[in-house]
Amino acid sequence: MGTHSVSQIKLQKRLRRLTGEAVADFKMIEHGDRVMVCLSGGKDSYTLLDVLLHLQKVAPIQFEIVAVNMDQKQPGFPEDVLPAYLKSLGVEYHIVEKDTYSLVKELIPEGKTTCSLCSRLRRGTLYTFADKIGATKMALGHHRDDIVETFFLNMFFNGTLKAMPPKLRSDDGRNVVIRPLAYCNEKDIQAYSDLQQFPIIPCNLCGSQENLQRQVVKDMLQDWDRKTPGRTESIFRSLQNVIPSQLADRNLYDFASLKIDESAASRFVDVLNL
């Protein structure tokens, strides 16, 4: 980072520490792993690659890193940016070309949000490519704020209590997805990206899509954090402290067989024998 202020050095150390803790807590990376780091050209994935390259140098285990970007053939996509950047790092990389842009535009009516279909198509392609190159883990750049936002989106619009897990096995069992930035907040990642001057590539497929429900939830959480600092962090901690008996999912907890314990000691005192 060259000559930077104490606060900037602390920022870098904090991101590295939190990433290391998440990797260790969920055993995301093991000795001999081949980790496919998915690069979108945004701040999150650049930070992910940067921190994992450092972790690769200092970790007591050996693992490979291969960077992969999916060129979805958006008009005006700067095809030379990521290859030039990755070559400068000396990182093994692949550019996967697949025209999902045309398919999304064909299937999604004008004015409707495209993120859901776009992400599904991208994920399926990357799953297949990870299998092709022998990647044992697929690293995504989702951070703590993404996870909390997803939790509320699922609760508000799908009626489910679920988020983005830090580690996930695909339905067919052939891929393990990891999110090493799970403990990092978006504000720190943005500051680090600005500091490092990563060559950011904007997503031109979806545009601003101001009516995205995710943006509505993001705004809600940011407003909460302004009024009560630390609330998003507290919500994230709650995802790590789930008590099934205090919810209402009959598949997670056997409510039907609950009855009084006849052998339990009485909580009442016999006043007459005092």
Which residues contribute to the annotated binding site for [4Fe-4S] cluster?
Answer: 115, 118, 206
Annotated binding site: 115, 118, 206
Name which of 122, 75, 132, 77 is nearest 100 in CA terms. Answer: 122
Question: Tokens for 91?
Answer: 């990182």
DSSP notation for 71-95: E---TT--TTHHHHHHHHHT-EEEE
User: Cα–Cα distance between 160 and 175 in angstroms, integer?
Assistant: 24
Q: Is 1 helix (H, G, I), strand (E, B) or coil?
A: coil
User: Cα–Cα distance between 18 and 231 in angstroms, integer?
Assistant: 18
Cβ(150)–Cβ(232) under 8 Å?
A: no
User: Cα–Cα distance between 198 and 148 in angstroms, integer?
Assistant: 25
**Helical H runs in the chain?**
6-25, 43-58, 81-89, 100-107, 115-132, 144-153, 186-196, 213-227, 231-238
Angle at 29 between CA 25 and CA 35, to 5 degrees: 145
Q: Which amino acid is at 39?
A: L
Question: Tokens for 244?
Answer: 């099934």
Phi, psi of 138 (to 5 degrees): -120, 110
